[in-house]
Amino acid sequence: MKTYTVRAERSGHWWALEAPAVPGLYSQARRLDQAEEMARDALSAMLEVPPDSFEVEIVPVLSPGTEQVLRARAAARADAERRREAVDREAALALTEDEGLTVRDAGKVMGLSFQRVSQLAAHTPSAGQELPEVKDELDKDQDDGFGRVENAAGSRTS
Protein backbone atom coordinates (compact mmCIF):
# COMPACT_ATOMS: atom_id res chain seq x y z
CA MET A 1 0.00 0.00 0.00
CA LYS A 2 1.38 3.40 -0.96
CA THR A 3 2.17 5.88 1.80
CA TYR A 4 1.97 9.62 1.17
CA THR A 5 4.04 11.89 3.37
CA VAL A 6 2.23 15.11 4.18
CA ARG A 7 4.07 18.07 5.65
CA ALA A 8 2.09 20.02 8.26
CA GLU A 9 3.35 23.54 8.89
CA ARG A 10 1.79 26.01 11.30
CA SER A 11 0.18 28.98 9.54
CA GLY A 12 -1.56 31.31 11.95
CA HIS A 13 -4.17 29.27 13.81
CA TRP A 14 -4.15 26.50 11.19
CA TRP A 15 -1.90 23.69 10.01
CA ALA A 16 -1.11 24.07 6.30
CA LEU A 17 -0.85 20.63 4.69
CA GLU A 18 1.20 19.80 1.62
CA ALA A 19 2.08 16.47 0.00
CA PRO A 20 5.34 16.97 -1.93
CA ALA A 21 4.76 13.76 -3.95
CA VAL A 22 1.48 15.19 -5.29
CA PRO A 23 2.16 18.62 -6.81
CA GLY A 24 -0.63 21.09 -6.20
CA LEU A 25 -2.12 19.22 -3.26
CA TYR A 26 -2.81 21.57 -0.39
CA SER A 27 -5.22 21.42 2.51
CA GLN A 28 -5.49 22.71 6.03
CA ALA A 29 -6.56 21.56 9.47
CA ARG A 30 -7.37 23.42 12.64
CA ARG A 31 -5.62 20.86 14.84
CA LEU A 32 -2.86 18.38 14.12
CA ASP A 33 -5.08 15.44 15.10
CA GLN A 34 -7.37 16.42 12.19
CA ALA A 35 -4.55 16.64 9.64
CA GLU A 36 -4.61 13.00 8.52
CA GLU A 37 -8.33 13.04 7.75
CA MET A 38 -8.07 16.32 5.83
CA ALA A 39 -5.00 15.13 3.89
CA ARG A 40 -6.65 11.78 3.14
CA ASP A 41 -9.77 13.52 1.78
CA ALA A 42 -7.68 15.85 -0.39
CA LEU A 43 -5.47 13.01 -1.69
CA SER A 44 -8.47 10.81 -2.43
CA ALA A 45 -10.21 13.58 -4.38
CA MET A 46 -7.12 14.65 -6.32
CA LEU A 47 -5.95 11.12 -7.17
CA GLU A 48 -9.49 9.82 -7.71
CA VAL A 49 -8.91 6.76 -5.54
CA PRO A 50 -10.74 5.42 -2.46
CA PRO A 51 -9.56 7.06 0.80
CA ASP A 52 -8.66 3.68 2.29
CA SER A 53 -6.40 2.67 -0.61
CA PHE A 54 -3.30 4.44 0.75
CA GLU A 55 -1.58 5.42 3.99
CA VAL A 56 -0.91 8.97 5.16
CA GLU A 57 2.07 10.00 7.27
CA ILE A 58 1.79 13.48 8.80
CA VAL A 59 5.15 15.16 9.44
CA PRO A 60 4.91 18.36 11.50
CA VAL A 61 7.39 21.03 10.40
CA LEU A 62 8.79 22.67 13.54
CA SER A 63 11.51 25.20 14.27
CA PRO A 64 15.07 23.90 14.71
CA GLY A 65 14.99 24.86 18.40
CA THR A 66 11.82 22.88 18.99
CA GLU A 67 13.21 19.92 17.04
CA GLN A 68 16.30 19.99 19.27
CA VAL A 69 14.15 19.98 22.42
CA LEU A 70 12.12 17.04 21.08
CA ARG A 71 15.30 15.10 20.29
CA ALA A 72 16.56 15.76 23.84
CA ARG A 73 13.20 14.57 25.19
CA ALA A 74 13.40 11.35 23.16
CA ALA A 75 16.96 10.74 24.34
CA ALA A 76 15.95 11.31 27.98
CA ARG A 77 13.03 8.89 27.63
CA ALA A 78 15.29 6.25 26.07
CA ASP A 79 17.82 6.72 28.88
CA ALA A 80 15.07 6.41 31.49
CA GLU A 81 13.84 3.21 29.82
CA ARG A 82 17.36 1.74 29.86
CA ARG A 83 17.71 2.61 33.55
CA ARG A 84 14.29 1.13 34.38
CA GLU A 85 15.20 -2.05 32.53
CA ALA A 86 18.48 -2.31 34.45
CA VAL A 87 16.77 -1.74 37.81
CA ASP A 88 14.06 -4.28 36.91
CA ARG A 89 16.80 -6.79 36.02
CA GLU A 90 18.60 -6.15 39.34
CA ALA A 91 15.32 -6.56 41.25
CA ALA A 92 14.42 -9.77 39.41
CA LEU A 93 17.85 -11.22 40.16
CA ALA A 94 17.73 -10.11 43.80
CA LEU A 95 14.30 -11.65 44.32
CA THR A 96 14.94 -14.91 42.49
CA GLU A 97 18.57 -15.53 43.40
CA ASP A 98 19.20 -13.69 46.67
CA GLU A 99 15.74 -14.16 48.21
CA GLY A 100 15.08 -17.52 46.55
CA LEU A 101 11.59 -16.55 45.34
CA THR A 102 9.93 -18.29 42.43
CA VAL A 103 9.47 -16.18 39.31
CA ARG A 104 5.72 -16.17 40.04
CA ASP A 105 6.28 -14.74 43.53
CA ALA A 106 8.87 -12.28 42.22
CA GLY A 107 6.40 -11.20 39.55
CA LYS A 108 3.76 -10.56 42.20
CA VAL A 109 6.22 -8.51 44.26
CA MET A 110 7.38 -6.50 41.23
CA GLY A 111 3.97 -6.06 39.62
CA LEU A 112 5.15 -7.91 36.49
CA SER A 113 4.17 -11.15 34.84
CA PHE A 114 6.18 -14.20 35.86
CA GLN A 115 7.21 -14.52 32.21
CA ARG A 116 8.72 -11.04 32.27
CA VAL A 117 10.57 -11.77 35.51
CA SER A 118 11.93 -14.93 33.92
CA GLN A 119 13.17 -12.91 30.94
CA LEU A 120 14.78 -10.30 33.17
CA ALA A 121 16.47 -12.85 35.41
CA ALA A 122 17.83 -14.79 32.45
CA HIS A 123 19.08 -11.74 30.51
CA THR A 124 22.81 -11.20 30.44
CA PRO A 125 24.34 -8.44 28.35
CA SER A 126 26.14 -9.52 25.21
CA ALA A 127 29.87 -8.91 24.80
CA GLY A 128 30.67 -5.23 24.66
CA GLN A 129 27.20 -4.21 25.88
CA GLU A 130 27.28 -2.31 29.12
CA LEU A 131 24.49 -2.20 31.65
CA PRO A 132 23.49 1.25 32.91
CA GLU A 133 24.84 1.89 36.38
CA VAL A 134 22.05 1.14 38.84
CA LYS A 135 23.95 1.01 42.12
CA ASP A 136 23.55 4.77 42.58
CA GLU A 137 19.79 4.41 42.05
CA LEU A 138 19.64 1.57 44.57
CA ASP A 139 21.67 3.52 47.13
CA LYS A 140 19.30 6.49 47.12
CA ASP A 141 16.96 6.96 50.06
CA GLN A 142 13.58 5.34 49.40
CA ASP A 143 10.20 6.59 50.65
CA ASP A 144 8.28 3.62 52.08
CA GLY A 145 4.89 5.17 51.20
CA PHE A 146 4.07 6.10 54.81
CA GLY A 147 6.04 9.36 54.91
CA ARG A 148 9.10 7.57 56.23
CA VAL A 149 12.33 7.30 54.30
CA GLU A 150 14.52 4.22 54.32
CA ASN A 151 18.14 4.89 53.52
CA ALA A 152 20.63 2.50 51.96
CA ALA A 153 21.70 1.29 55.42
CA GLY A 154 18.14 0.13 56.09
CA SER A 155 17.30 2.61 58.85
CA ARG A 156 14.09 4.61 58.67
CA THR A 157 13.48 8.28 59.39
CA SER A 158 10.20 10.15 59.61
pLDDT tens, position by position, 83-103: 999 999 999 999 999 999 999
Same domain for 146 and 92: yes
Instruction: Determine the average pLDDT of the residues in 37-47.
Output: 97
pLDDT at 130 over 90: no
Q: Are 89 and 150 found together in one domain?
A: yes
The answer to whether residue 134 sits within a structural domain is: yes
Q: What is the pLDDT of residue 123?
A: 73
Could you tell me if residue 78 is inside a domain?
no
> Residue 135 domain-assigned?
yes
Strand, coil or helix: 157: strand
Question: Residue 49 sits in which domain range?
Answer: 2-61
The whole-chain average pLDDT of the chain stands at 86
Question: Could you tell me if 55 and 1 are in contact, meaning their C-beta atoms sit under 8 angstroms apart?
Answer: yes
**Quick one: residue 9, left, alpha or beta (phi over 0 = left, psi -120 to 50 = alpha)?**
beta
**Would you say residue 70 lies in a domain?**
no
* Tally of domains in the chain: 2
Q: CA neighbours within 13 Å on the CB side: how many for 75?
A: 6
Same domain? 148 vs 102: yes
Q: Are residues 90 and 38 both part of a single domain?
A: no
Would you say the pTM of this structure is higher than 0.95?
no
Residues 153 and 88 in one domain: yes
Over range 15-27, report the average pLDDT: 96
